[in-house]
Chain A
Amino acid sequence: DVVLTQTPVAQPVTLGDQASISCRSSQSLVHSNGNTYLEWYLQKPGQSPQLLIYKVSNRFSGVPDRFIGSGSGSDFTLKISRVEPEDLGVYYCFQATHDPYTFGAGTKLELK
């Protein structure tokens, strides 16, 4: 199975600052069709996860442009510029290139 390693485990931030989360895969996430199925989710306290980014860098409907996904192959990053209170929670990366699909362990974005 593909292992996704997220760092850091916790990211203390000050509101208005930038935050960055890394997701590294145990193998390339480039699908045979040329797409890279790496997604990012945010789970706010007490809520269901919500999709932020799909296929590495595409923002899902309604996601603010302060969320930026980047990367390629097996190395990916989610940047959140100007962190706002509603951005706090646990971020997960997820790969849907290789069966079985797998999640990273999560990164908690919290206030300093």
Chain B
Amino acid sequence: EVKLVESGGGLVQPGRSLKLSCAASGFSFNDYWMGWVRQAPGKGLEWIGEINQDSSTINYTPSLKDKFTISRDNAQNTLYLQMSKLGSEDTAIYYCARGILWDWGQGVMVTVSS
């Protein structure tokens, strides 16, 4: 069974950084692209970006490219999302997903507030 578990969320002050993790199990992690999607409270889904199997290709939605960094550790079966210069507009549930969003984690809440 594919399992994706996000962690690292919480309350963070504006301007600060936060790193999310996504622990993967139940499939061969290093065989798949992985991605991140977020959802602001009461809003729709926003694709953040994706990373290929060996981290040689990473794509982002342009508006987040300078703030967010996607990485992975295949030895640890873990996907990461490093977020910097956070603002209130980044308050959202953050989901990791396998492949072109075939399987999703339960999501982790990030709240940016002073």
Contacts and interface: CB of A to CB of B under 8 A. Distances in A.
A102 B44 CA distance: 11
A96 B59 contact: no
Interface residues of A, number: 23
Contacts of B102: 51, 54, 60
Contacts of A106: 44-45
A99 B46 contact: no
Contacts of B95: 48-49
Contacts of B37: 49
Q: Is the interface of B mostly helix, strand, loop or mixed?
A: strand
Contacts of A99: 59
A54 B106 CA distance: 21
A103 B100 contact: no
B60 A103 contact: no
- Which 3 residue pairs across A and B have the least CB separation, nearest first? A100-B61, A48-B104, A103-B45
24 contacts: A37-B100, A39-B101, A41-B101, A48-B104, A48-B105, A48-B106, A49-B37, A49-B101, A50-B104, A51-B101, A51-B102, A60-B102, A90-B44, A94-B45, A96-B100, A99-B59, A100-B49, A100-B59, A100-B60, A100-B62, A104-B44, A105-B44, A106-B44, A106-B45
Interface of A: 1, 37, 39, 41, 43, 48-51, 54, 60, 90, 92, 94, 96, 99-106
